[in-house]
Amino acid sequence: MNDYLVKAVAYQNQIRAYAVNSTATVAEAQRRHAAKPTATDALGRSMTAGVILGAMLKGEEKVSVKINGGGPLGTIMVDSNAKGEVRGYVSHPQTEMEINEVGKAVGMNGLLTVSKDVGLMHPFVGQIPLISGEIGEDYTSYLSKSEQTASAVGVDVLVNSDSTVKAAGGFIIQLMPGADEEVLNIIKDRMKVIAPLSSMISEGSTPEQLLEHVLGSENVTVLESMPVRFQCQCSVDRITNAIISLGSEEIQDMIETDGHAEANCHFCNEFYYFDTEHLQALKEVAL
Ligand code: ZN
């Protein structure tokens, strides 16, 4: 089944809610980075929350989320947009932990930084210190403190023993401006008694079912759904333009020194190779 995200309202429009099944998206990231289970879990959680942040945007707007908690995984980067496209990487995807401990692998001595490109000259940047490195709690803290929107974020990834992804998904629930704070307390109380998110996700719940589970089926109105997928923004054209922009002297230097040029995209691990003949052709069009 293809991944998708739903946008909903609940409790007489006092709550705005999003949920996503990101299983195939996280599986693609795991394959591309050959990530071990803990790295897949951490990256997948941030991609799941990140794709929802992207779905809150409009048109050509984009969002990047950087998490660095000083733990063995290094930096986790996620880019997303309003079209449901998300990509991401973790500095050390081969990191293996004794148990599947995301918080310890991410670390909590660092920051979660969100950068939103909404078409203005400078991006909007918000930053918070990490709470636990468990990702969901850290996104909750970011939305509540930096965007001043009382929120609850739940994200989870289940990894098979052969490192492939069994299931991934999550939700973000937000109190609309002017809403009754009591509504948030009702939801918090519900969350204490309902089955954990991981069991919902492992059972393959749809995004609609996730929201009904958390908010109560009688309270949720789904407004729209949209596909989500792993999609990098790199391409042969982009790399070609980057090489051309170096100028003919620099390209000649590459031809003489290495006889070729190569580039590796951090986000999708795609490898680009340009041989001498190709570089000669690019040199002709460069300034
Ligand atoms: Zn790429």
CA 80 to ligand 1 center in whole angstroms: 13
pLDDT for res 100: 66
Question: Which neighbouring-strand residues pair with 75?
Answer: 68
CA 19 to ligand 1 center in whole angstroms: 26
CA 155 to ligand 1 center in whole angstroms: 24
Amino acid at 176: M
pLDDT tens figures, 143-152: 999 999 999 9
Question: Burial letters for 14-26: b for 16+ Cβ neighbours within 10 Å, e otherwise?
Answer: bbbbbbbbbbbbb
CA 64 to ligand 1 center in whole angstroms: 15
pLDDT for res 184: 81
Closest C-alpha among 129, 149, 153 to residue 140: 153
Specify the DSSP element, H or E, that contains 271.
Answer: strand 271-275
Cβ-contact 157, 45 below 8 angstroms: yes
pLDDT tens figures, 86-142: 999 999 999 887 766 899 999 999 999 999 999 998 999 999 999 999 999 999 999
CA 85 to ligand 1 center in whole angstroms: 12
Contacts of 148 (CB under 8 A, 6+ apart): none
CA 271 to ligand 1 center in whole angstroms: 9
Contacts of 263 (CB under 8 A, 6+ apart): 239, 242, 271, 272
SS3 97: coil
Tokens of 175: 């109190």
Kindly tell me the number of DSSP H helices and DSSP E strands found in the chain. 10, 13
CA 75 to ligand 1 center in whole angstroms: 17
SS3 121: coil
In this structure, are strands 229-230 and 85-90 parallel, antiparallel, or unpaired?
parallel
User: For residue 79, what are the CA distances in angstroms to 31, 43, 169, 253?
Assistant: 18, 12, 17, 33
Tokens of 66: 């950087």
Listed by start position, the domains of the chain span 4-230, 236-286
CA 231 to ligand 1 center in whole angstroms: 8
pTM of the model: 0.93
Average confidence (pLDDT) over 228-247: 95
DSSP per-residue codes, 147-180: S---EEEEEEEEE-TTS-EEEEEEEEEEEPTT--
- Who has greater pLDDT, 204 or 248? 248
Between CA 33 and CA 42 the distance in angstroms is 13
CA 265 to ligand 1 center in whole angstroms: 5
CA 16 to ligand 1 center in whole angstroms: 32
Range name among 7-21, 158-172, 173-187 with the lowest pLDDT average: 173-187
CA 7 to ligand 1 center in whole angstroms: 28
CA 176 to ligand 1 center in whole angstroms: 36
Architecture of the domain delimited by 236-286: Alpha-Beta Complex (3.90)
CA 266 to ligand 1 center in whole angstroms: 6
CA 268 to ligand 1 center in whole angstroms: 4
CA 118 to ligand 1 center in whole angstroms: 22
Backbone angles phi, psi at 258, to 5 degrees: -110, -25
Q: Could you say which DSSP state residue 146 is in? A: I
CA 182 to ligand 1 center in whole angstroms: 45
User: For residue 33, what are the CA distances in angstroms to 13, 39, 91, 182, 261?
Assistant: 40, 10, 10, 44, 22
pLDDT band at 223 (very low <50, low <70, confident <90, very high): very high
Between CA 78 and CA 50 the distance in angstroms is 7
End-to-end CA distance of the chain: 48
CA 112 to ligand 1 center in whole angstroms: 22
CATH top class, domain 4-230: alpha beta
Question: Which neighbouring-strand residues pair with 77?
Answer: 66, 89
Near ion ligand 1, which residues have CB within 5 Å? 232, 234, 265, 267-268, 270
